Amino acid sequence: MTLNTNNPTNLQQLDSTMLSDFRNCQRYFYWRHERQIDSIDPKVPLAYGIAIHAMLAEWYKTKNIINAMIAFDRAWALHGQPEGDTKRNPIRAAEIMNAYKNFYSEESFKVIDIEVRGALPAGDFMLVVIIDLIIDLPGYGLLPMDHKTTSYFSEKWWRGKILRWQYSAYLWAMRQLFGKNCNSLYVNGVLVDQKRCLFDRQPTSRSDWDLSMWLSEANHIFKEIQLCRSENEWPKTEDYCDRWPDTCSYYQLCTTAGINYRELQPGPNFKKSIWNPLNEVR
Ligand code: SF4
């Protein structure tokens, strides 16, 4: 299902990744979403996560493991077919798919829809969402399910995921679409590991109050984006530079001395890449 993506009001479209990028580092938002610059280096974890999403989407569409692996290969190729590493490669993906099929041989829910994409007015901007699955779970009713790949399961990991701002955005969108009785989301965790295949799922809920707070915060962030634009001022958050598996991909740009960053022309390690929230799955 694709939701209405018409934008008669010409409101700017933002997804939760863009909002989070801005919250994490305004300079990062500037490079990625204003200048539309991306590093040419293949991002193996990102490509693998996207390909696993494509694989699971196809699995729920057809319940056919070959089709699911074709979907993985297609997405993997589309993202540069990186060499991968010991835990992220097509062979490990096939092993995960096979183990997933056996582990969840009898799902406790009915699939209502797969990869629901759309844009909804959320105050002063259009919120873009891609919901991996909408399911009907006895005892909960309709709820979105979000696939998440992770290198480890721990209480801390679950705590971080369950509180995710992105899930407030999804639940806010679900409430607009399906009404009040849609207040929980199911996180579908998939371990990314060299040998083990592990899966875990947990629900997370938001009250009306939580969602109204989220809407107010999201609009506040949108105002801050507009302020940065009007002043063309994009402060760095230096303590965010190392919060990646590798250093931030814009580190080279942010540490180029003697030139105003607004005039900086990136070298051959970078390319033009337009972020289209309706095409991306993270
Ligand atoms: S290198 Fe650091 S300051 Fe620059 S964009 Fe990345 S996180 Fe922000």
The string of pLDDT tens digits covering residues 91-123 is: 999 999 999 999 999 999 999 999 998 899 999
Mutation to probe ligand 1, out of 37, 238, 256 (largest number of atoms < 8 A from CB): 238
Confidence at residue 282, expressed as pLDDT on a 0 to 100 scale: 46
How many other CB atoms are there within 10 angstroms of residue 9's CB atom? 10
Q: What is the mean pLDDT of residues 257-270?
A: 93
Span from the CA of 27 to the centroid of ligand 1 (angstroms): 6
Q: What is the pTM of this model?
A: 0.88
Whether residue 33 contacts residue 229, with contact meaning beta carbons closer than 8 Å, is answered with no
Confidence at residue 145, expressed as pLDDT on a 0 to 100 scale: 95
Least confident of 35-44, 46-55, 67-76, 97-106: 35-44
138, amino acid identity: P
Span from the CA of 17 to the centroid of ligand 1 (angstroms): 16
Show the domains of the chain with their CATH numbers: 13-272 (3.90.320.10)
Length in residues, the chain: 282
Span from the CA of 58 to the centroid of ligand 1 (angstroms): 36
Cα–Cα distance for residue pair 174/184, rounded to 1 Å: 10
Q: What is the mean pLDDT of residues 267-271?
A: 92
Q: Is the dihedral of CA 208, 221, 33, 152 positive or negative?
A: negative
Least confident of 2-16, 102-116, 203-217: 2-16
The string of pLDDT tens digits covering residues 157-168 is: 888 877 788 899
Cα–Cα distance for residue pair 262/242, rounded to 1 Å: 23
With 0-12 CB in 10 A as exposed, 13-18 as middle and 19+ as buried, what is 279? exposed
